[in-house]
Structure 1
Amino acid sequence: MGFQLAPTATADGFRLEAHDAVGSTNALALERAMAGDPGKLWVVSKKQESGRGRRGRAWATPEGNLAATLLKVLDHDLQYAATLGFVAGLALADALDAVAPNARFSVGVDGGSGQGVKRFELKWPNDVLASGAKLAGILLESTLLGQGRLAIAIGIGVNVVAHPTDVPYPATSLASLGAGVDAETLFLALSDAWSENERIWAGGRGLAAIRKRWLARAAGLGSEVAVRIEGNVVRGVFETIDEDCRFVIRDTKGEAVKIAAGDVHFGAVASAGAA
């Protein structure tokens, strides 16, 4: 089957633009916004040739993986718009639960919550893990439009059939987990789960409920962590995320440190030093 929206997403007014291959679904979505698109547009592809991750890093999407971007045009301020990344993580995790209930989870590695975890986890701020390995990444990019509006591209990249091996962190794919799922099936579930989670978010008014749901899936909660922030490393124990979804750790001096942006490392990487 080709890409299609769930009936719930269609009923909520979402639209779909599907491609066999694109340069970047995020870039294409923002182009649509600059050309006057009103938002609520999903741009999807099974192949992405110039995708990007956080901090300008490349994100490979070979044939059969999922590259999906939701374009939203909002009147909300950037602070609340940024929390849509947590909505995206929850929506994807819910979709994965629905389409891959028999995924084979193994002993955790240098990320996630280690042994005994049999679920898809959310790693702050923007990754989805399986057995401590990166399965998916989320990237939010935005541009200001006229009349106080903000266009935000919520990019979601999932390793469906393949995962990179030349990266400095463990990675996995749905195929490696034994889940016989294709990108189209996953996207159908994702479009449904997004509608539900966005209703909970409610323009930022439901952020407390999103935070509670996110923490229930949080990778590494209560474990040793190292966070690299602009060349510096802060070490401690991952305690929570606060009401603004900032990462909170209890450092080696016993003080709570709130972090708005940074690269998070768990387990052995945290102990040895965040590279």
Structure 2
Amino acid sequence: MTEFRLGSKARDAGYRLAGFDTIGSTNSEALAAAAAGDPGGIWFAALQQTAGRGRRGREWHSPSGNLAASLMVIPDASPEQIATLGFVAGVALNSGLSSILPGGMVRIGIDGADGADGRSRIALKWPNDVLADGAKLAGILLEAAKTPDGRQAVIVGIGVNVVAAPEGVPYPATSLKALGIERSAEDVFEALSDAWVGAFGLWNDGKGVSAILERWRHSAAGIGAPVAISQDGIVRRGIFETIDSSGRLIIRDDDGARHPITAGDVHFGATASARS
């Protein structure tokens, strides 16, 4: 049986938890809770998903031993502010994962995707991924639903490759086990649940968006380096300059023009520099 547990900060903050060995989709469970009138602040965590999904309807591979977790919250914020909850989750994941890395295991990431300080083993990849040594370690998916009383519920879905990573995917993937880190999905979830409390508190129903974005930038992969964004078959290349106050990726092209990007698949380093 699974032994998922909330961290002490999460328990003190009143979060609740439903843990599973196997589930179809933790996001689906959280959506159902919202539709049933749950007041929010509840995590759904599982060791395996059989019907997980990622961004743009893609399948999310989650074999037994990896972490699938979804949090349902009902924030008192505008739709524009709610859209930045993915950055809150990224900051929380970065903090939680970093807290369980063994000491002395920090090095530059591969493919030019190291952190802004040039040393971080864990780095955030726009818009909703976490990298380790330049390969995808975790992903985030936001979904929305209406509660019976008409409020906006948000599902923050998080998947972490703990024991295995998918192969044959567009962006290289890795797992904690492949990095030599022997921690369980339950350990990762406990660290994440506590880290979320701090990040969500900083966000403060959208009032602290700027502070969250600043923390995200500090741990971002590839700022100042070549980047390529694929959007519906069209590739735009330039230098990843920053993310703006709305969370859009800003790239600078060869002519010096700045372009805001709201969605797309991002590649760094040698992949971004290649011309096709």
Q: Would you say same fold, with TM above 0.5?
A: yes
Per-residue deviation at 1:12? 1.0
Residue in structure 2 matched with residue 5 of structure 1 by the alignment: 6
Which 10-residue stretch deviates more, 146-155 or 60-69? Answer: 146-155
RMSD: 1.9
Give the corresponding residue for 2:183. Answer: 181
Provide closer, same or farther for how the CA distance between residues 69 and 200 of structure 1 changes in structure 2, counting only shifts above 3 A.
same
| Equivalent residue number for residue 95 of structure 2 | 94
Q: Contact (CA 8 Å) 1:227, 1:265: kept in 2 or not?
A: yes
Q: Which runs of 5+ in 1 are unaligned?
A: none
Measured in 1, the distance between the counterparts of 2:118 and 2:225 equals 15
- For the 8 Å contact 1:103–1:179, the answer to whether it is kept is no
Match of 2:39 in 1: 38
- Look up the SS of the partner of 1:143 in the other structure: strand
Q: Which residue of 2 aligns with 1:83?
A: 84
TM-superposed CA distance for 1:71, in Å, is: 0.5
1:3 offset after TM fit, Å? Answer: 0.5
Distance, in Å, in 1 between the alignment partners of 2:101 and 2:17 is 23
> 1:126 corresponds to which residue?
128
Mapped to 2, the partners of 1:109 and 1:99 lie a distance apart of 21
How big is each residue's C-alpha offset from its partner over 1:169-207, in whole Å with a ceiling of 9 and x where there is no partner?
Answer: 211100111111101111111110000111111111111
Q: Does 1:217 align with 2:232?
A: no
- Which of 139, 142, 145 in structure 2 is aligned with 1:143? 145
For the residues of structure 1 that align with 2:152 and 2:131, how far apart are their CA atoms?
30
Whether the 8 Å CA contact 2:90–2:124 is kept in 1: the answer is yes
Deviation at 1:33, TM superposition (A): 0.5
User: After superposition, what is the alpha-carbon deviation per residue over 1:10-53, rounded to whole angstroms, capped at 9, x for unaligned?
Assistant: 11111001111111101110011101111100000010111111
Q: How many residues align?
A: 274
d(CA) in 1 for partners of 2:242 and 2:126? 10
C-alpha distance in 1, partners of 2:275/2:93? 30
Q: Over residues 32-86 of structure 1, what are the superposed CA-to-partner deviations in whole Å (9 max), with x where a residue is unaligned? A: 1101111100000010111111001111111110000010123422211111111
Structure 1 residue 263: Cα displacement: 1.1
Tell me the secondary structure at the aligned position of residue 191 of structure 2. Answer: helix
Q: 1:211 to 1:9 in 2, by over 3 A?
A: same
Q: Hey, what does 1:17 align to over in structure 2?
A: 18
Q: 1:85 to 1:273 in 2, by over 3 A?
A: farther
Distance 1:103 1:260 in 2: 36
- Identify which range, 96-105 or 83-92, moves more after superposition: 96-105
Question: Greater CA deviation, 74-83 or 14-23?
Answer: 74-83
The code of the aligned residue for 2:122 comes to F
Q: 1:165 corresponds to which letter in structure 2?
A: E
Q: Secondary structure at the match of 1:204?
A: coil
Residue by residue, what CA displacement relative to the aligned partner does 1:89-126 show, whole Å, maximum 9, x if unpaired?
Answer: 11111111111134746663336139963421000000
Alignment correspondent of 2:201: 199
In the alignment, what sits opposite 2:264? 262
Alpha-carbon spacing, 1:13–1:248, altered in 2? closer, same or farther (3 Å): same
**Counterpart secondary structure, 1:213:** helix
Extract unaligned runs of 5+ from structure 2: none
**More divergent stretch after superposition (150-159 vs 97-106):** 97-106
